[in-house]
Structure 1
Amino acid sequence: MAEHSYENITIELPDFGAPVRRPPRMFFGADRGDQNLAAHLLSAIGKDLLHPPASVASAHALQARLEVTGDRGTTVTVNQPHAWERPRLPVPRGWATALLGDEWWSLCAAAALSAEVTVERWCGGQGARQRLAGLRPLADIEEFRPSDCGSGLRVSATLDPAHVGTDFLFPMDLAELNLHDPDCSVSPGTGHVLIRDHRSGLAAGDVLHR
């Protein structure tokens, strides 16, 4: 029987963000360079927060904040309930969705188009944080002490011009975003999505969707 040597074999992790980047319209309804991509991306995230997967919560039940921190920057914070045991650290770097999770398709897709991503997840007074480039972890997961005693998820991202286009800018009129699913028949509940624009620095930049 012939012997095989595995000494020179290189194992490459798959790029899970590639299907999103070619093309983004499959997820956000617009391609790189399209002036509508920024608004579509924010709307998709907002709809996902108002109408989360059934495994996370019922429609209009979560309280979330979608912040525009710059022309290509966003931070999403959601009071996602989860029973979370103390994570075993460190988690292998190849585990792309170790903290982000794959239940939030819009956040995963937006992360795939981003140059820098920071994911934080917390529950019961303990939290974990990880930095990503797209969906590729840049460092091991680290622990932190959250100020929130409940449970939740926060994702901060800076979109990459190479993936969204050099003219990509989040719209100034955030009140025009459509966050409601046309097939949703659920009456407004305790949940909401607060959209806050930090670029203006004005209270008028806050828009509440229920």
Structure 2
Amino acid sequence: MTENNSRKQQAKLLRIFRKLHRTTGAFLFLFFFIVSVTGLLLGWKKNSGGLLQSKSYQGTSVQFKDWLPIDSLHKNACKIVHDSISADSTLELERIEIKKDKGMVKFIFAENYWGIQLDGATGKLLHIERRRSDIIEKIHDGSIVDDYFKTGSGFFKLFYTTVMGFALLLFTITGFWLWYGPKRMKRKS
């Protein structure tokens, strides 16, 4: 292969990569914007002064032997939700977080992203929180669409993260080649 043919093939490859990079970027611009902004917010959540993620409050005992049974704590959390947030809440739990070193347990409710922090030993309310970081995380990974349409299977999250992961890989490869290719061509000439 002559040097001229090799140069033409490299130039052709660069044009293909540039077009692929530009087209994919234009098509996925909004999704990359959402992923970048939510990723930035998630990275800063612990340093947001309680805006994105509430601090974990301290209970009275870090010894499990002093704690009330989880069932009793759960009943307290449900009563607090009905009394303080909404009597119409479904009380469906998303998860329970036990913070032994804080002597505290968090009940995270699925509806409207509410969290209740209780003292593990006394069952008393430590804090009611709106879980903004959970909302941001669900936007970030696309699972908010599955929640909205109640798919249950996580299909959209899987599809979304697959597309975004492959797009980022494609951008990395084509972006590198768009930077390196002209340098390589210049060096060879």
TM-score, normalised to structure 1, is: 0.25
The answer to which structure, 1 or 2, has the higher relative contact order (CA under 8 A, 6+ apart) is 1
The structure whose Rg is larger is 2
Query: Which of the pair is proportionally richer in strand?
Result: 1
TM-score, normalised to structure 2, is: 0.27
Query: Which of the pair is proportionally richer in helix?
Result: 2
